[in-house]
Amino acid sequence: MQPSENLYPRQSGNNDDLNALTGRSLGQFRIVERIGAGGMATVFKAYQPNLDRYVAIKVLPAYHARDPVFVKRFVQEARAVAKLVHPNILQIHDFGEQENITYIVMEYVDGGTLKDRLNVKRALPVPEAVDYMIQAAEGLNCAHNHGIVHRDVKPANMLLRKDGYLLLSDFGIAKILEGTTNLTRVGTGIGTPQYMSPEQGTGQPVDRRSDIYSLGIVLFHCLTGRVPFTAENPLTITVKHLNEPLPLEMLRVAGVPTPIEQVVARMAAKAPQDRYQTTDELITALTSALTASQLSMPSRWRPGMSSAMPRLDAQGQIAADPRLALLRAWGRGRVFLLRRHPPPGNNRVIHNNW
């Protein structure tokens, strides 16, 4: 098996113990190289010989392994998140602890993150941005239906495969960190202030509508090339999310169509009751706004599958065909769901060792 091109963001670090993991093994996984780092974890590319595949291993800070509250929450949440199987959710294969190293084994994605894409392209074309947000919303819908709120929806947690799929990662990490005994917090909410909902930023209980708010801020970023609220410190950003209106003029300057602007404004409404209440409702609004803007989704048909896919009429709907009645009912009328099934041969095997 040949190593694939590595597009994970590389970041420097000074943790010699973690750097020394390269060449060693965690369980059955041999560490190949360090491919990323952030405030909550360091990510390594590793090789799994028995399945002849590469995986990504996220190693959490060593001090967490010594915190019994964290370990308990980690096990509970990892098991819950590992049960989420969806084309737009990064699959967890395994997790464990070895020599005070707590780690999660995940699917390896070779296309970088949405954050990387935005760093290069700044703003995205409207159809591409909406396509990514619908994929993210589909993944969130799966999680929400299982009672899991992401709590840290942001471009850095959206991985992009080279075939056009977006996969959400780091489900439950913020929830695991809430309530740990040795955590130094910024303000009263755990997450990323630039994308955090007002209720999360002020330490209030959150539900699926908080994720919808964060997704709205991500969509704003995709369309304009920047987040709506910035400041020198996280607390000030949180206050802006709480009190300042969304700068819709930035969307207008970027040439975003009015129907799309209206969807973004409702996604990022200050009060949860004023937002879309479910991701299903949001997906319907996004697809309708795209149609109203006379735009269409980017075509991402898989090689060799175009002849098997349903034809679309001029309005982007499935062309009349009695054989597709069942598909139309199953897909709730959304072409998107038909298009988003993994292509044949997509091997997403789950290995949960507990």
Please, what is the Cα angle at 260 between 331 and 269, to 5 degrees? 95
Predicted pLDDT at 15:
52
* Per-residue pLDDT reduced to its tens digit, 276-310: 999 999 999 999 999 999 999 887 643 333 333 33
* Per-residue pLDDT reduced to its tens digit, 186-234: 444 567 899 999 999 999 999 999 999 999 999 999 999 999 999 999 9
Other Cβ atoms closer than 10 A to 98:
12
Spatial distance between the Cα atoms of 228 and 191, rounded to a whole number of angstroms? 17
The first and second tokens of residue 151, run together, are: 């709590």
Under a CB-based contact definition with an 8 Å cutoff, are residues 182 and 67 in contact? yes
Predicted pLDDT at 176:
65
Distance of CA 260 to the CA centre of its chain: 21
Burial 255-278 (b: 16+ CB within 10 A, else e): ebbebbbebbbbbbbbebeebbeb
Predicted pLDDT at 191:
72
Spatial distance between the Cα atoms of 354 and 350, rounded to a whole number of angstroms? 12
Mean pLDDT of the residues in the chain: 79
Average pLDDT of the segment spanning 76-100: 87
Predicted pLDDT at 308:
33
Predicted pLDDT at 4:
39
**3 state SS of 318:** strand
Residues annotated as catalytic are 152
Predicted pLDDT at 318:
38
pTM over 0.85: no
Predicted pLDDT at 64:
73
Predicted pLDDT at 189:
52
Q: How far is CA 20 from CA 1, 28, 31, 44, 215, in A?
A: 24, 17, 10, 12, 37
| pLDDT > 50? residue 66 | yes
Predicted pLDDT at 332:
36
**3 state SS of 269:** coil
End-to-end Cα spacing for the chain: 28
Q: Which of 309, 331, 311 is nearest to 319 (CA)?
A: 311
| pLDDT > 50? residue 334 | no
Under a CB-based contact definition with an 8 Å cutoff, are residues 316 and 335 in contact? yes
Spatial distance between the Cα atoms of 297 and 138, rounded to a whole number of angstroms? 15
| pLDDT > 90? residue 50 | yes
The rounded percent of the chain whose pLDDT value lies above 90 is 53
Spatial distance between the Cα atoms of 18 and 58, rounded to a whole number of angstroms? 11
Domains, the chain: 16-107 (3.30.200.20), 114-292 (1.10.510.10), 308-339 (no CATH)
Average pLDDT of the segment spanning 105-114: 92
| pLDDT > 60? residue 315 | no
The first and second tokens of residue 16, run together, are: 């010699």
The rounded percent of the chain whose pLDDT value lies above 70 is 73
| pLDDT > 70? residue 344 | no
- By the 10 Å C-beta count (0-12 exposed, 13-18 middle, 19+ buried), 331 is classed as middle
Average pLDDT of the segment spanning 311-325: 39
Spatial distance between the Cα atoms of 212 and 218, rounded to a whole number of angstroms? 10
* Per-residue pLDDT reduced to its tens digit, 146-194: 999 999 999 999 999 988 899 999 886 666 665 543 333 444 456 789 9
Q: Which of 162, 154, 260, 259 is nearest to 217 (CA)?
A: 154
The first and second tokens of residue 183, run together, are: 């955590």
Spatial distance between the Cα atoms of 227 and 160, rounded to a whole number of angstroms? 20
